[in-house]
A and B are shown apart, each in its own frame.
Chain A
Amino acid sequence: MQFGLSESQEFLKDSARKFFAGECPSAEMRRLMDTDSAYDAALWSKLTDQGYTGIIFPEEYGGVGLGKVELMLLMEETGRALLPGPLFSTVVLAGSVLEAVSTPANKKKYLAPICRGEARATVAILEASASWNPRDVHMNATNGKLSGEKLFVSDAAIADFIIVVARNGVFVVDSKARGLKISPMSAMDLTRKLYVVEFSNTPAEEIGAATDLPRAFDIATAALAAELVGGMQRTLDITVEYAKTRKQFGKPIGMFQAVQHQCADMYLETESSRSAVYYAGWALGENSPDAATSVSIAKMYASDAGRAVGNRGIQIHGGMGFTWENDLHLFYRRAKASETAFGDATFHRERIASMVIDSGSASAKSA
């Protein structure tokens, strides 16, 4: 048993970190967050050259065929860089849904262009209830047409196609389809834009069954937790650096235990989230029986920890932490968005409860 990264995994993580530090430093991230879509075509083509747009998909569709642990490592680094734009929406979310539900022909049609970096996409799930429980999806397709409204759809304005989760199937809607209206929602996270997507008798192509979605959503959920880990690590790094240099009462503030112990807790929360995310990545990759539980464990813990680490980081920075100029609040905003996306800690605790209390099997299994 080896719960450390292999050499090639370390290499992937390191090169991703260097790539994002070079191509998307803080100034570039801030430039993009001030644009309408936070999307930059030149950056996207560089991501494609790195193989990131096809990272986990089979080579026959132009992907790189890496595992889920590798995806977690990449997402950890996008989180650390607070990468703006549709990598999560397109690759992790839309890509995983296509891989999970669609036929080989549709994978060629939709997944391959994503891998090649030619298409951007997203998945429309939530409705007015804002509930992540699949039972609360009410939209129905009638005769290949969709009507109604989806909310909180990430990166919809720059998507070439939108995958729509309906009660009676999973559908693809072309961005130029008639009766489709996309309007921005003004939300906390400035680096991943959210939209209202309205359909009015909009033609939609059915690509699969909604019952095949859970695995794709588990991958997306774990990837969000991985991104949270990257954000926590960056928040911790920035904060520790500040605590070493900022002086009050003639001493670096990091010398005071009230500050130092908060930093220690940030470290504990970050490392524990990372352990949970890596395990979830491994369990997903192995199709282990505890994959779904371990995804919920990771998302539950990272959702709460992401917020806690942000709280502590801002507090330790004092007045500086409350300024627009300091990057911490940008990570804090992302952490809040990621905390609720694909279910917050409360949602995942209930999911864990249904697995360990109601079935009784998950806890009995390894005891």
Chain B
Amino acid sequence: MDLNLTTEELTFRDELRAWLVFNVPKDWNEWREKPIEESFPYLRAWQQKLHDGRWAAVSWPKQYGGRSATLMQQALFWEEMARADAPPMANSLGLGLIGPTIIACGTEAQKKRYIPKILSAEEIWCQGFSEPNAGSDLAGLQMEARLDGDLYVVNGQKVWTSYGWVGDWCELVVRTDASAAKHKGLTVLLVDMKSAGVEVRPLRQMTGESEFNELFFRDVRVPVENILGKVNDGWNVAMSTLMYERGSYGARLHLIFKRYITRLIELSRTIQRNGRPAAEDPLIRQKLAQCSAEIEIMRFNQMRAFSRITATGVPGPEGSIQKIFWSELNQRLQQIAQELLGSYGQLLSGDTHAIDKGIWSYAYLRTRGNTIEAGTSEVQRNIIGHFVLGLPRSY
């Protein structure tokens, strides 16, 4: 066990830090609050800039435009990005999930065709996994793909698709064999979102925004060369994507949570509680301390998991701990924010009395989604129960 950074890690971090000093846009604050439809070209340009510096996909192999970064270096990457307050990248699903899956499961021709434009943000990717009747039970999905010569004809509906409104391409899971057992009849297709018969509708969520879309497919024709992996092996292809999702998602959260708690501690010094600053109220102190401590433990868990994955080579079911931990912690964190802010906690962005431009009311509502998106807490506990502890499958 050695938690000091190695020479390679320090070199990596220092090079990135220096690059960020010169390249992080100075005007991000003017864009941050704007609707994503408006800021998207800005985020695209930022990703292009990162790509020019070969920083867009540090985890990818060098031959595909990455830096073959170790997990620790990836964690450092997200830490430095957060520290520099860098904007997010436009093609985050393409870079984080779909690109790695294409590199792992795709043909050489597919890699050549898709990878460069994922990196440059010329083509934005979305993910067509969940359906109205297939959420946690993803393998029960029904979107039909019927083979017709050298084409698949696709019919059905997807839901909770991030970036659907701006997506050029979609990693789509479809049913190619209705007679096989449910995990066995699935195939992953790479679908051009400009194909005839694709309709994208916004899905308004409880926060009032539309981060997600519903996708409707009516007789959409997809050439067979767009199969990712093997026919009827789509479950394994999709699962490898989800493992990346659970493995890498948490790495960037430590500093974000740390910013929240630091701000809450700052606020607690001025907010009055029983005639004195809330920072002196024993109960508030207990809650802020608990939360600060759990934010650190989240980081310790991540570092241990990274070391374990480095030893075994692939993200494993341990990612489920991270997912449960960060999502439930974020909910507790926002609950504490609400307790601290009292009546002010409910004020929305735009209200003249709102504290911190209303981010706390937004964050409070948004965290309800955390324990649902990217695999519900219940599914994560099933994964731990069955795959980690070896208990019999409950479903």
Segment at the interface with A among B176-184, B217-225, B232-240, B284-292: B284-292
Residues facing B in A226-271 (CB within 8 A) are 240, 243-244, 251-252, 254-257, 260-261, 263-265, 267-268, 271
Question: Given known contacts A1-B3, A3-B300, A300-B289, what 5 new A-B pairs fall within 8 Å (CB)?
Answer: A243-B391, A260-B381, A301-B294, A350-B286, A357-B265
Contact yes or no, B300 A263, CB < 8 A: no
- Minimum-distance CB pairs A-B, first 10: A260-B385, A275-B300, A264-B384, A4-B307, A254-B391, A264-B381, A353-B285, A352-B289, A349-B289, A3-B303
* Residue among A4, A9, A264 with the highest chain B CB neighbour number at 10 A: A264
**How far is B378's CA from A275's CA once the two chains are assembled, in angstroms?**
23
Contact yes or no, B307 A3, CB < 8 A: yes
Contact yes or no, A244 B390, CB < 8 A: yes
**How far is B79's CA from A181's CA once the two chains are assembled, in angstroms?**
57
**How far is B279's CA from A61's CA once the two chains are assembled, in angstroms?**
47
Residues facing A in B349-395 (CB within 8 A) are 378, 380-382, 384-386, 388-394
Contact yes or no, B391 A3, CB < 8 A: no
Segment at the interface with B among A104-112, A188-196, A359-367: A359-367
Q: Is A69 an interface residue (CB 8 A)?
A: yes
| B interface residues, Cβ below 8 angstroms from A | 1-6, 9, 72, 255, 258-259, 261-262, 265, 268, 279, 282, 285-286, 288-290, 292-294, 296-297, 300-301, 303-304, 306-308, 311, 321, 324-325, 378, 380-382, 384-386, 388-394
Contact yes or no, A357 B4, CB < 8 A: no
Shortest C-beta distance, B280 to chain A (Å), equals: 9
Contact yes or no, B391 A263, CB < 8 A: yes
**How far is B148's CA from A43's CA once the two chains are assembled, in angstroms?**
76
Residues of A within 8 A of B268 (CB): 357
Contact yes or no, B2 A1, CB < 8 A: yes
**How far is B385's CA from A252's CA once the two chains are assembled, in angstroms?**
13
Q: Is A282 an interface residue (CB 8 A)?
A: yes
Contact yes or no, A349 B325, CB < 8 A: no
Q: Is A45 an interface residue (CB 8 A)?
A: no
Contact yes or no, A356 B297, CB < 8 A: no
9 example contacts (A-B, Cβ-Cβ < 8 A) are as follows A3-B300, A260-B385, A264-B384, A267-B384, A268-B324, A276-B300, A279-B3, A301-B293, A356-B265
Shortest C-beta distance, A29 to chain B (Å), equals: 25
Contact yes or no, B384 A268, CB < 8 A: yes
**How far is B392's CA from A257's CA once the two chains are assembled, in angstroms?**
10
**How far is B1's CA from A6's CA once the two chains are assembled, in angstroms?**
6
Residues of B within 8 A of A352 (CB): 289, 292-293
**How far is B301's CA from A267's CA once the two chains are assembled, in angstroms?**
12
Contact yes or no, B390 A240, CB < 8 A: yes
Question: From B290, which residue of chain A is reached at the shortest CB distance?
Answer: A349
Q: Decide yes or no: A363 and B297 within 8 Å by CB, A263-B391, A350-B285 being known contacts.
A: no
